[in-house]
Amino acid sequence: MKNKLVVHTHHIASHFTNGLWPVGALLLAVYLIIGDRSYETASFYCFFFSTLSAPFVLGSGWMDWKSRFQGRPTRIFNHKRIFGLLFVVTSVLLVVWRATDGAVAAPESQYRLIYISLAYVDAAFVVYLGYLGGKFI
């Protein structure tokens, strides 16, 4: 019998990423509405820790798919791989960008709209990935 922790590693890890990124997006929205920089900073930290966990989520999902579902290709699994990879790439880009330019989300930044848009695209990715994962529960 498989160790339950090993069996559920992907589920546990994905809840961290799928919960933390939308919280960061919400904090970013609060910053955009009220202008208090501390919300933008908190948003960045949520994005940072979500991004750190994302490769582990992708890897554990891959192992889970290989072991529990014998690596069968389906539309759902294909979407999970594609959107998971898109999330990892864009979240790393956003976190590195924000880490090197602390004012990228500030009103005076010429790149503000791009940064904010990508943050919400990533939020849509994790919501969609969570939706797909919920089809197996």
pLDDT value of residue 85: 94
The distance between the two most distant Cα atoms of the chain, rounded to a whole number of Å, is 58
Number of domains, the chain: 1
pLDDT at 6 over 60: no
- Are 109 and 115 contacting, i.e. CB atoms less than 8 angstroms apart? yes
Q: What is the pLDDT of residues 20-55, one digit of tens each?
A: 999 999 999 999 999 999 999 999 999 999 999 999
pLDDT at 5 over 60: no
Helices (H), ranges, the chain: 4-7, 9-34, 37-68, 75-100, 112-134
pLDDT value of residue 12: 77
Q: Please state the pTM of the whole predicted model.
A: 0.88
Q: Which structural domain range is residue 111 located in?
A: 4-134
> Which tokens in the block code for residue 98?
């924000």
pLDDT value of residue 61: 85
Residues 6 or more apart in contact with residue 1 via CB below 8 angstroms: none
Q: What is the pLDDT of residues 87-135, one digit of tens each?
A: 999 999 999 999 999 999 999 999 999 999 999 999 999 999 999 988 8
- Are 105 and 112 contacting, i.e. CB atoms less than 8 angstroms apart? yes
